[in-house]
Structures are given as C-alpha cells and as structure tokens.
Amino acid sequence: MSEAATQGGIFSISGRQWLILLMVQLANLLFGMTITLANLVLPDMRGALSATQDEISWVITLNLVATAVATPVTGWLASRLGWRNLMFGTVLGFTICSLLCGLATSLDMLILARIGQGAFGAPIMPMGQAILLASFPKHLQPTAIVIWGVGAVFGPVLGPILGAMATEAWNWRAAFFMIVPPGIATLVCIWFALSDRTERQPISFDWTGFLALSVAIICIQLILDRGQRLDWFEAPEMIACAVLGAISFYIFVAHCLTASAPFLNPRLLLDRNFAIGTAIAFVMGMLAFTSLTLFPTMLHDLRGYPDDAVSILIAARGMGNWVAFLVVVQLTRWAPRFTIGLGLFFQAASGFWMAQFDINVTESQIFWSHLLQGFGQSIAFTPMTVMAFSTLPTHQVTEGSAIFTLMRNFGSSLFISIAVMMLIRSSSENYARLGEFVTPYNKLLFLPSFPASWDLESASGLFRLAGEIQRQAAMIGYVNAFYLMALTAALSVPLAFFMQRARRVS
C-alpha cells in the first residue's frame, strides 16, 4: 500500500470512488437546499397562504416528521430494491414533490407536498453515509466523510442565496422550482455511479414495529404542534393523541425486545460508541435547524429585512462549516472525543451569544454567531459519525445509519416544535406583562422624552404603541428559545468523553 493510502490522503481515492462521492454530494446538495429554502421563504408563504406562525411551522416540522418516519425503512428498501433503484426512485420522487411544492395553491397542498418531499428524501442521508462507509477503507473514511460533507454544507449555503434571488425575481414558488434541474442532473449521476449496485435481497419487513413507531412519533409531534392552540390536555384531541402515542410506543418497545427480527434492532444500542453517538446525533439534530426556522421570521417581522439580506446572514452558518473542513480531519485523527466536545461547546457558545440579542441586533452579530454555530456543527459531526460507526460490524452499517439519521431528524422536528411553542407562549405572556405598564397612572408615559407617535390619547398612537410592545415581547420569546438551544448544547458536551476509540469489527 502506498504512503498516501496509508495516510488516507485524497490521492489514494480511485476514480470509481470519486464518482460515488460526486453522486452522494449532489443528492446531499438537493436535500440541504430544500431545508434552508423552506425556512427562508416562510414569511412569504405565511403571507401568501394566510397562515399563522404555528400553522406555517408545520411546513417545516411535518417535513421533518415524514423524514424521521421514513428513514428507518431505508435498510429494508435498499435490500429489496438495490442501491441504484432506491437512490434513483428517492431522488425522482423528491424532485417531483419539490415541483408540487411550487405549484401548491393552499397550505394543505403545500404541507402534503412537503410531507412527500420528506418521505422521499429520507433515504438520501443514510444511504449516502452507508454507501461511503461501505465503499471506502477505514483509513479513508474521515477524508470521505469530510468531502461528502461539502455537498451537505454547500446546499444550505447555496439554497438561501439562490432562493432569495429567485424569490425577489418572481415569488416564493420559484425557490422550489429551482430544485428540479439539479434533481434531474442527480438522477443521471446516480444511474452511472451505482451501475453495479443493483443486487436485491428478498428480506422480510417488520410492519408491526414500523407502524407502532410511526404512530408514536406522529402523536408526539401533533401534541407539541397543536397543544398550545388547543390548550393542551383540556382538548379531547390531545388526550387521544397522548393515549394512542403511549400505547404505540409500548407496543414498539415490547415488540423490539421480543421479536426475532425486529424493525429496529435494539442490540445495536449495546454498542457503546453507537449508542452514545446516536444520542449526540439526536442533540445535534435538535440544534441543526431550529435557528434556521426562527431567524427568517425574526428578521422579517421584527426588523423588516428583505429575503436577500436574510439569505446572506443565514448562509454565514454554511461558511462556518466550510472553515471547519480545514481542520476537522486532522482534529478527528488527533483527538476525536475532544473535537466532538469542542464542537458542542461552540454550538452552546453561539446559542448564548444569540440569547444576548435585542431588537436592535446588528448584521455583524447575526453573521458571526451563525458562523460560530456552523463551525461547531461541522467540527462535532465528522468525528461523531466516524466514532459512532467505528465498532459496528460492516453488515450492520446500513441499519445503524438508518437509526442514526432517524434520531437526528426526529430531534430536529421535536426541537423546532418546542422552540416555536416557547416563542409563541413567551411572546403572549410578555405582551400581557408589558401591557400592564400602559396605564394613565404611569408617569413615565407622559415625560417629554416619550415618543410623540405613541400618544395615549389617540387610537393611532395606542395602535403604534401596541405594535412596539408586540415586537419587544416577540423578541423576548426568541431570546428564550435561543437560551434553550444553548442549554441543550452545553448539557450534551460531557457525552463526547464517554465514547472510546476502537476498531470496527468485520
């Protein structure tokens, strides 16, 4: 073996491996673009479809729920259809659903198209990860994952920039239409890159475990999404969801522990590195898309930023990912556990930084805090992935990747719902508290320095004052959500140091 190969350098990667890397990068590009695109155009969609803050958030959360539910089926589909057929069908369905998102004329149609987009897009990440881990020797895996991450990062960076340009030129629909051309290019690449991956294995599928887990996840998501609006368990719908979810989760756990061939093999969690890595993936999923959901509406509603300005500020997180690529391979080989902890620490620091923002937050503060967050995500993700799969047998990588991605996606949808719930609840509470100070008996409101436009003697003045109180109350809600992000990241840092370095068994 050459020195380059021993060291895992890019010069030891064969032409076939480069083609596979290109294929998974293009697929990741599509998946990443839709995530940031949807978040960017949330304010435009909310206005065009006459939706509220919590209603339009379903465009994000139900997409992630569909992805989480469909992800565990990846291993079975890969065996039944073969790698090429699965990837081709996945990207084809994903591209068609993206087109339908742009054609949607109502919120219900848009949500259905986004659910389809999430379901078809679910195998993209775990299949790409499994294909890389199976196609590259262990000494090349950190390099391959980093190169693969270029596509995953380039999508979220390119998505908001191109989406903003398309939205400004036409409307929010153009942001989804522009997914179609690269989707077609990806289909061509898949057909040739996986030409020798068409073998199929007629294995059985555990429908009981799959349906039980799916119902449990959907019930949890519905409770978090609709609980605030329906006054939680005062509504029969919420009680029914809670009971059905609890029963379904019990069936899933009991079935997995007793079935000979369960839907998700619980024995995988007996592997220490994989179990801890999956827990960290869940936390990183919680942190991955929450700020992307909150910031576009915050900047649009509270500061009046146009879409192109919002896109550039959000793209700063992708720039942080790019910067991390310069050092993450070396850090992964030198001190992987320290690198994971450092990445989580940077994400906690960025969350605390965002929690210090006020209504007059500057573009510089937004840019650098997002860049730090993106840097922390990429610094943690590569060593976490390598170590999580380092001790799994090769034949369990695809199934493990499905569980790994399931937890990451479920963490994303779960935490977005929690953050939006905190935003709405905190905004309402603080609006009521701040409104208590608007009274004829408050002498501060009659000082000469008090803005004349907030005249308490006129209806227009009271209206403008109420609007300002609403802005300040909403900002407090955003700040509380950022504190929650920061605390979640900080509490997860110690998990990194419970992992151990080990060689994968054959």
Packing angle between helix 207-226 and helix 236-258, nearest 10 degrees? Answer: 150
pLDDT score for 198: 67
pLDDT score for 286: 87
How far is the CA of 201 from the CAs of 46, 67, 124, 208, in angstroms? 45, 24, 20, 21
pLDDT score for 502: 56
pLDDT score for 1: 39
DSSP H or E stretch at residue 118:
helix 107-121
- Count each helix (H run) and each strand (E run) in the chain, helices first: 22, 0
pLDDT score for 504: 44
Scored b (16 or more CB within 10 A) or e, 276-306 reads bbbbbbbbbbbbbbbbbbbbbbbbbbbbebe
Q: Virtual CA dihedral for 446, 451, 454, 457, nearest 10 degrees?
A: 40
Check: CB of residue 322 under 8 Å from CB of residue 152.
no
Residue 163's CB is within 10 A of a number of other CB atoms, namely 27
Q: Is 235 exposed, middle or buried (0-12, 13-18, 19+ CB in 10 A)?
A: middle
- CA dist., res. 206 & res. 225, Å (int): 29
Packing angle between helix 290-302 and helix 307-325, nearest 10 degrees? Answer: 150
3-state DSSP: the chain helix, strand, coil percent, rounded to 5? 80, 0, 20
Plot region of 86 (φ>0 → left; ψ -120 to 50 → alpha; else → beta):
alpha
Check: CB of residue 367 under 8 Å from CB of residue 375.
no
221 closest CA partner among 406, 418, 460, 383: 418
Q: Spell out the long-range contacts of 171-177 with Cβ–Cβ below 8 A and sequence spacing 24 or more.
A: 171/44, 171/48, 172/41, 172/44, 172/45, 172/48, 173/102, 173/103, 174/102, 175/37, 175/40, 175/41, 175/102, 176/34, 176/37, 176/98, 176/99, 176/101, 176/102, 177/98, 177/99, 177/102
418-435 pLDDT, tens digit per residue, is 888 888 889 989 888 888
- What does pLDDT average to in each consecutive run of 10 residues of the chain (506 residues)? 46 72 81 74 80 75 80 80 88 93 89 91 81 75 70 68 78 87 86 74 79 88 79 86 94 87 80 90 86 81 78 78 81 87 94 92 89 90 85 76 80 84 88 83 76 78 85 92 94 90 51
Amino acid code (one letter) for 472: Q
Q: Per the structure block, which two tokens stand in for 446?
A: 């009659």
Q: Per the structure block, which two tokens stand in for 271?
A: 């592997």
Cα 455 from chain centroid (whole Å): 45
- CA dist., res. 215 & res. 61, Å (int): 15
Check: CB of residue 281 under 8 Å from CB of residue 409.
no
- CA dist., res. 397 & res. 132, Å (int): 10
Q: Is 207 exposed, middle or buried (0-12, 13-18, 19+ CB in 10 A)?
A: exposed
∠ CA 266-62-224, nearest 5°, is 80
pTM (predicted TM-score): 0.76
Check: CB of residue 110 under 8 Å from CB of residue 101.
yes
141 closest CA partner among 278, 274, 329: 329
Residue 261's CB is within 10 A of a number of other CB atoms, namely 10
Local structure of 500: helix, strand or coil: coil
